[in-house]
Amino acid sequence: MVFLAEEKKPRIAVDSREPDEVCDCLESLGAEIEIRQLALGDYQVSDRLAVERKTRADFESSIVDGRLFRQLKELLGSFERVIVIVEGSPDSDSRLSRAALLGAYSSIISDFGCAIFFTRSASATAEMVAALARHEQLTKKQELSVYAKKKALTLADQQRAVIEALPNVGPSMAKALLSYFDTVENVMTAPESELQEVDNMGGKKAKKIRELLTRRHKAEKG
């Protein structure tokens, strides 16, 4: 099933909450994955394209509570292209009528301008995501930044994004650090002992942060 034969492998940013099965399949297909907590989407295959993956059950639930359309609006504020992947076999006990589902599909395509793709398994999802990454990066030469940039970020958003780039720091921890230290500079220069004063930080996290900030950089070969 491996089809990514080029020497240069596509890189895919994967949200840390995505299942291991998809990640394992992506690696078996020759992709290099970077697991991190993504602010938007489940997979980023270039700076312009993101993938939102949903199981059949979650897809239907997100239609009912309106979450899907809020997510698409946010994604389209940051990415030129958004792909929705719905994973799983059709359920005979669907909570939505065929008319309601067709209406949702129509809205995704017509109102939001997003593509929607259906897969039956995690491996099939991985194949589609890998193909998208291969097309974006190897065919169209679109880059994937180490940390994909969002458009029109406020200063507060940019400050949080900088702090979220630190090891094991998600949105909540970033807010806590900025609240405690007041500025990005203060966070970056704080000693390990002070970092541990922030709720839920702990010694291991503080040590990793200081290691990242103080260890000499060694450029990767290749």
pLDDT value of residue 4: 45
pLDDT value of residue 5: 45
Q: Is the pLDDT of residue 194 over 90?
A: yes
Q: Among 115, 139, 163, which residue terminates a domain? A: 139
Q: Highest mean pLDDT range out of 128-132, 150-154, 174-178, 200-204?
A: 128-132
Residue 100 belongs to domain spanning:
11-139
Q: Report which of residues 147 and 9 the model is more confident about.
A: 9
pLDDT value of residue 160: 85
Q: Among 139, 164, 182, which residue terminates a domain? A: 139
Could you give the CA distance from residue 96 to residue 182 in angstroms, rounded to a whole number?
Answer: 48
Q: Report which of residues 145 and 5 the model is more confident about.
A: 145
Q: Is residue 221, in this structure, part of any structural domain at all?
A: no
Whether residues 135 and 188 fall in one domain: no
Q: Is the pLDDT of residue 168 over 90?
A: no
- How crowded is the C-beta side of 190, counted as CA atoms within 13 Å? 24
β 81-87/49-55 pair status: parallel
